[in-house]
Amino acid sequence: GESVGLHLPTLSVQEGDNSIINCAYSNSASDYFIWYKQESGKGPQFIIDIRSNMDKRQGQRVTVLLNKTVKHLSLQIAATQPGDSAVYFCAEIGGSNYKLTFGKGTLLTVNP
Amino acid sequence: DGGITQSPKYLFRKEGQNVTLSCEQNLNHDAMYWYRQDPGQGLRLIYYSQIVNDFQKGDIAEGYSVSREKKESFPLTVTSAQKNPTAFYLCASKTGGTAKNIQYFGAGTRLSVL
């Protein structure tokens, strides 16, 4: 079946370093992608999104890169802070399917 | 404040009991969604509604029921047929019905079995 998955389930970085969280997707019809941040016991919080007509999009301290050739998505966080510690999910939607499909998530831990 | 409100935050279910989780949004969003999240897992879609008085089953609808009588409300009932209901339940909404855009989430309800 089609799925969205993550290369690394956990990532530990030092405060101030840049973080890169990766995501692979298998549905070639996917044309819209969202990154969410989820802190413990809370609902997912929107970070940034990207459509398939773009290969890069930047927000505040975050950049999403989309490589449609290899069906890979990444989230880059600049100058990672302790408050960035959370689980990060990528989600995708494509074709006539109106449902978001979520990956399992990556736990980011920022060490002071 | 605009947003999505889920209640209660914690809920306990006795065996054989139906329980209802509330989700209310004042964002004027057309579409609403219910997800289930198990520990260390991603979100799985239970039910969704793209417009008032209409809803569709998601990937894991068995043992659950919903209604969408008002645009701002999308309650989820966990029935006694759901044999493993312990999970974190998340409600989401978005504008634009079938349009592909951001889903916004509530704070969740944690359901446990007594």
Q: Which of B4, B42, B58 sits opposite A99 (nearest CB)?
A: B58
Q: Which residues contact B44 (CB under 8 A, 6 or more apart)?
A: A102, B35, B36, B37, B58, B59, B60
Separation of alpha carbons B58 and B34, rounded Å: 9
How many C-beta neighbours within 10 Å does residue A82 have? 10
CB contact under 8 A, A105 and B42: yes
**Given CB atoms, is B60 within the 8 Å cutoff of chain A?**
no
- pLDDT tens-digit series, residues B53-92: 999 999 999 999 999 999 999 999 999 999 899 999 999 9
**Of B93, B106, B79, which is closest to residue B13 (Cα–Cα)?**
B79
In chain A, residues with a C-beta closer than 8 Å to the C-beta of B31 are 98
Question: For residue B100, which residues of chain A lie inside 8 Å, CB to CB?
Answer: 31-32, 51, 93, 98
The answer on pLDDT for B5 being more than 90 is: yes
Alpha helices in A1-106 (DSSP H): none
Task: Please indicate whether, in this complex, the C-beta atoms of B100 and A45 are within 8 angstroms of each other.
Answer: no
Reported as a single tens digit per residue, the pLDDT across A11-62 is 999 999 999 999 999 888 888 999 999 999 999 999 999 999 999 999 999 9
Query: Exposed, middle or buried by CB within 10 Å (0-12, 13-18, 19+), for A43?
Result: buried
Query: In a 10 Å sphere around its CB, with 0-12 CB exposed, 13-18 middle and 19+ buried, how is residue A25 labelled?
Result: buried
CA distance readout (Å), A14 to A80, A82, B34, B83: 8, 9, 36, 43
Chain B closest CA to A22's CA: distance in Å?
Answer: 15
Q: Which residue of A has its CA nearest to B97?
A: A98
Chain A contact for B84 (CB, 8 A cutoff): no
